[in-house]
Copies of this chain bind each other. A is one copy, B any other.
Amino acid sequence: MNETLKTLLEHRTIRQYKPDPVPEDVLNTILEAGIKASTSGNMQVYSIIVTREPARKEVLHKLHFSQQMVLDAPVLLTFCADFNRFNTWCRLRDAKPGYDNFLSFFTAAIDALLAAQNCAVAAEAFGLGICYLGTTTYQAGKLVEFFNLPDGVVPVTTLVLGYPASDPGPTDRLPAEAAVHQETYVPWTEERINKVYAEKENLPGTFKLLEENQLENLAKIFTEKRYTLKDNLYFSEVLLNVLKNQGFMNNP
């Protein structure tokens, strides 16, 4: 099989890293691959902040809910929706930027996320492991402070990169029919839900998780432990405030 497809299809999440540094030329090629990703109107309204200094990783480790891999992995890439450079350019050219609104934030977030996934694929092509940090959106306000991000810049995701210290194998995924709809969206019935979740609900790891958490099914692990309504409401407010404070909500 084509090597690119192999890289994509064999993706696995790495949470344990060797301390070996990522060579400078490897990192630069990974970043170059990110920059080649599609970008809205070729505006490139994103930025990538590289963190390698151990003292700075220690602060990020705390901000990202003390996940050990943030300390262990040699490189963190924080991807930001970023209209600051573009707006600065416009103002210097006597053009009036109109990018202080929600649509512009979302456009910039798309740019940042496509670049992030290209960096992830490039890293894996070099034999590196990767993991995304979902804590980036929860802690967006604190990351704005830490990186001293100006108006028009909001962190949207973080990639942890480094040489794998474990080989966990590919993560399980639902069958394709759980994600793919042909022509029209097919509404979910109990029968189809049971079918697409059957394998996942019967994995040995699932039973272990239920035992550990004393809960009767996997859905409750998500709603009661991992992603609760209370946390989601709190972090929704935090994230919307960050958008407002960074100048992205001047719209009706």
Contacts and interface: CB of A to CB of B under 8 A. Distances in A.
24 contacts: A4-B122, A4-B125, A5-B126, A8-B125, A35-B176, A35-B179, A37-B117, A43-B227, A47-B179, A49-B183, A49-B185, A50-B180, A51-B183, A52-B183, A90-B219, A92-B194, A93-B219, A93-B220, A103-B236, A110-B134, A113-B114, A117-B117, A148-B184, A233-B251
B118 A188 contact: no
B101 A236 contact: yes
Contact of A37 (B11, B109, B185): B11
A151 B112 CA distance: 27
A234 to B, nearest CB: 9
A239 interface: yes
Contacts of A246: none
Contacts of A167: none
Overall SS of chain A's interface: helix
Given A3-B2, A8-B121, A176 B28 contact: yes
A118 B84 CA distance: 28
Interface residues of A, number: 123
Contacts of A172: 42
B232 A98 contact: yes
Nearest to A115: B179
